Structure 1
Amino acid sequence: MHPTVSSTPVTREEFRATLGRFTTGVVAVTALRNSDSAPVGLAVNSFTSVSLDPALVLFCIARTSTSWPQVRTAGRFCVNILGESQREVSTRLATSGDDKFHGVRWTTTPAGTPVLEGAIGWLECSVEAEYPAGDHEVIISRVHRLSSREDGAPLVFYRGSYERLAA
């Protein structure tokens, strides 16, 4: 079978359908808002490691995000690696609104960034670089502290929905 070469532009629907077949983990990026120390955050499924030395990670944020500017201005933020039991938290943080943390339990890192209860790992970060990329911003972040649990499966996203990781 040989792929068909096409000169027509890729549609959003085609792009989403094809990339939806790539399984991703889900993280929540959280911080305390500068103005009132209230927790703010958003769900992200475009997350990866970049470098071991220095420790850098990357995630992408839609330019239309109203949550990212609040997280960004905090200076330090936490990337929470969500566990499979955190679907509701992910869904809540993926929506717009000011009351995303209502009923969400969290503690803090040593520097005071929010760690969501049930996260299977966390990374305390700051922005190292930002790059425009189409309708998103690519955020490269320096990792200052991190921790993880030995137990717990990750929350994964595949073909437009949350799935379980097969053992």
Structure 2
Amino acid sequence: MLTTPPPVTDPAELRRAYGCFPSGVAALCALGGDGVPIGMAVSSFTSVSLAPPLVSACVQDVSSTWPRLRARDRIGVSILAEGHGDACIALSRKHGDRFAGIGWDATADGAVFVHGAAAWLDCVVHDEVTAGDHTIVVFRIAGAVADAGIEPLVFHGSRFRPLSIG
């Protein structure tokens, strides 16, 4: 008979358990009021609904980037591609130019998209839900472009891995 798992008392153990689940990585980006791009990488991104078209991402409450992005009219969501490991790390930095060495374009509405991404979603914030030490942000998709031929960036066990199809 299977015994009940013990209570989680060590955050590192919980992080290891979370790391057992592979996820894609998305970049949330927009132009700031000064025309300089603002962005962050998230691995807690998922589809929510087809009608209306919704996706979500979880953002840490201590993020200093999210409040700046949240203030923008449009946010570009780029589903990062297999070769975007360095871009993901750059977009996760606490300090410095997160866009150094990253090719990007912006729409007239201020959504910023990373070159070479598997998909681009032009989004507006639809809702926000407090959840523990994170906020679940629900985005409404205003426009989308996807290239199914581009392999996504996969994060698993605290590292980037190729998607294996066999």
Alignment TM-score, normalising by the size of structure 2? 0.93
CA spacing shift, 1:2–1:80, aligned 2, 3 Å:
same
What SS does the corresponding residue of 1:151 show, helix, strand or coil?
coil
Give the aligned partner of residue 2 of structure 2.
Answer: 2
| Residue 166 of structure 1: how far off its partner (Å) | 0.5
Structure 1 unaligned segments of length 5 or more: list them: none
Amino acid of the structure 2 residue aligned with 1:33: G
Alignment counterpart, residue 124 of structure 1, candidates 112, 122, 143: 122
Give the aligned partner of residue 95 of structure 2.
Answer: 97
Give the aligned partner of residue 32 of structure 1.
Answer: 31
2:84 is aligned with 1:77: no
Question: 1: distance between equivalents of 2:9 and 2:136?
Answer: 21
Paired-residue identity, % = 36
> Aligned pair count?
165
Does the Cα contact within 8 Å between 2:8 and 2:14 map onto a contact in 1?
A: no
Alignment of 1:122-161 (within 5 A): 122-161=120-159
Root-mean-square deviation over aligned CA pairs: 1.4
Structure 1 stretches (4+) deviating beyond 6 angstroms? none
What SS does the corresponding residue of 1:129 show, helix, strand or coil?
strand
Question: 2: distance between equivalents of 1:5 and 1:18?
Answer: 12
Question: 2: distance between equivalents of 1:98 and 1:160?
Answer: 23
Amino acid of the structure 2 residue aligned with 1:67: T
Amino acid of the structure 2 residue aligned with 1:27: A
Question: 2: distance between equivalents of 1:5 and 1:140?
Answer: 32
Question: 1: distance between equivalents of 2:150 and 2:73?
Answer: 29
CA spacing shift, 1:19–1:5, aligned 2, 3 Å:
closer
Question: 1: distance between equivalents of 2:68 and 2:96?
Answer: 11
What SS does the corresponding residue of 2:68 show, helix, strand or coil?
helix
| Residue 19 of structure 1: how far off its partner (Å) | 1.3
**CA deviations over 1:35-59 (Å, ceiling 9, x no partner):** x011010000001111111001110
Give the aligned partner of residue 51 of structure 2.
Answer: 53
**CA deviations over 1:128-151 (Å, ceiling 9, x no partner):** 111111111110110000101132
Does the Cα contact within 8 Å between 2:73 and 2:109 map onto a contact in 1?
A: no
| Residue 104 of structure 1: how far off its partner (Å) | 1.4
Question: 2: distance between equivalents of 1:110 and 1:150?
Answer: 26
Question: 1: distance between equivalents of 2:32 and 2:108?
Answer: 17
